Structures are given as C-alpha cells and as structure tokens.
Chain A
C-alpha cells in the first residue's frame, strides 16, 4: 500500500469512528420517529438507513459542536417528506370547532365526579398504555403527526421544526395545538372504552 493510500485509509477510519461516536447514539430516537411518521416498520428501517447513508456522505459538511441530533432529524425529515409521505394529502376531514381546551381533563374530571374513574392524572399514569398513546399518534393526519412527533416526543423547538418541515413558525404552533387536541380526543375514546 502506498503512503498516500495508507493516509487516506487512516483518514477514512478516523471519520468513521467520529461519525459513529456522534451520530449512532441518536439511532433509537430516529427509528422511533421514523416509525411514527411512516407507521410501517419496514419503511421506518429504510428511512433510517437512508438517513445514515446520507448523513455519512455529507459528514464533512457537518460542523462539529453543532447539534448532531437536529442535523440527523433534518436529513430524515427531508427524506421522509420527499419520498415517504403520501403525495396526495388526505383532505382535512376533522372538525376542530367542537374541541375545547383541556378536552381530556374536562372529560376525566366529569368521569371522576360521577364516580366512574380515578382522578384525571391517575388515569393517565395508571390506565393509559403505551399502545393507546402510539395509536393516538398514528391516527393523526400526516402534518399534525410530524409536528407532534418532533415537538412532543423529541422536544425540538418551534424554530427547529419550522426549518425541518419548511413551514412558518405560526403553522408549527397551530398544527401542534390541533395535534395535541386530537391526541387527547383519541385517548378519551380509549379511556371511555376501557373504564366501562
């Protein structure tokens, strides 16, 4: 092996090690979110794998010290929007008018008052299973689901989400507000069915 190719190899190895160290810890969070976004384990795996391939290709452009998690999510969200999200958006059939603030709290409080349920917080802590939560998120229309996953599961800021999804901050805010209400509506339906 020439000196030059040995040097290139060492350089490659260094960047591989660096990449693994900085990016691999985010694999689980990426997969979880990919699964919520695509709603399909096979697609989620492909999306995450593609994200890592793309990230590795562009690793030289990644500025050390900046937020690796946000960088990876940005790449993944971009791939998702361009290749995985349904091209024809489902029409917005949900009516939000009847959905007041504290939808779930109000209903659980009423249930508590009539003696058919524990306190609202106890219900959440003891009766609402992970499956019900995943199901509530899965049922959200695409754009609400993406925003809820990025904001509530991954705790990205409005600004970061606006950049990832290429939408104004006001849109992030309104999608999150509606998405959260819809999640509460599903959780109420689940609780109601399970407290009988």
Chain B
C-alpha cells in the first residue's frame, strides 16, 4: 500500500480527506507526530481540494500573527521597568 502508484479508489480518497481534515488544527500548530505530518503532506500533494483549503488556513494564521505583531509596548512602560531594575536592590 505505502508508496503505491496505483490510482486511489474514490472511497479511500474521501476517507483520506476526512483523515487529513481531522488533523488540520494539529497540523497548523505543528503538533502532529512526524509520521502523521508526513501522511497529511502526502495527501495534500495529491488532493487539490485539501491543498487549497489547508493553504488558506496557513495563510490566514500567518496573516493573523503578522498583523498583530506590530503592537509594541508603550515607551513609558519600558522606562518604568528599566527604572525599577536600576533602583531595586
């Protein structure tokens, strides 16, 4: 079965999509075991539908992370912490 070049029957294909989708959140969080991650990756390389959806989820996650990361600590807070450090014994 593993690495077989034969066409995947529709039923199995459907199950594979389901199995991949079940692992979406863990996949996004990089929490899958290496063998599971590899299975999902393999499915994504064979299934356009899942690839598009997973790719979208990854894009969204990166956009969320990137757009929230522009917020910086206010200067007075940094100064307060620094002055606390220099005056504390």
The interface of chain A, by Cβ under 8 A from chain B, is 12, 16, 19-20, 24, 27-28, 30-32, 35-36, 41, 45, 48-49, 52-53, 56, 101-102, 104-105, 120-121, 124-125, 128-130, 133-134, 137, 151-153, 155, 157-158, 173, 176-177, 180, 183-184, 187
Distance in angstroms between the alpha carbons of A113 and B71 in the assembled complex: 36
Number of interface residues of B (CB under 8 A): 36
Q: Nearest residue in A to B60 (C-beta to C-beta)?
A: A124
> Once the chains bind, are B80 and A49 in contact (CB under 8 Å)?
yes
Which B residues lie within 8 Å of A101 (CB)?
A: 21, 24
Which A residues lie within 8 Å of B4 (CB)?
A: none
Distance in angstroms between the alpha carbons of A151 and B27 in the assembled complex: 13
Which A residues lie within 8 Å of B52 (CB)?
A: 105
Given A125-B63, A151-B29, A130:B68 Cβ within 8 A: yes
> Once the chains bind, are A180 and B25 in contact (CB under 8 Å)?
yes
Distance in angstroms between the alpha carbons of A157 and B59 in the assembled complex: 19
The interface of chain B, by Cβ under 8 A from chain A, is 21, 24-26, 28-29, 31, 52-53, 55-57, 59-61, 63-65, 67-74, 77-78, 80-82, 84-86, 88-89
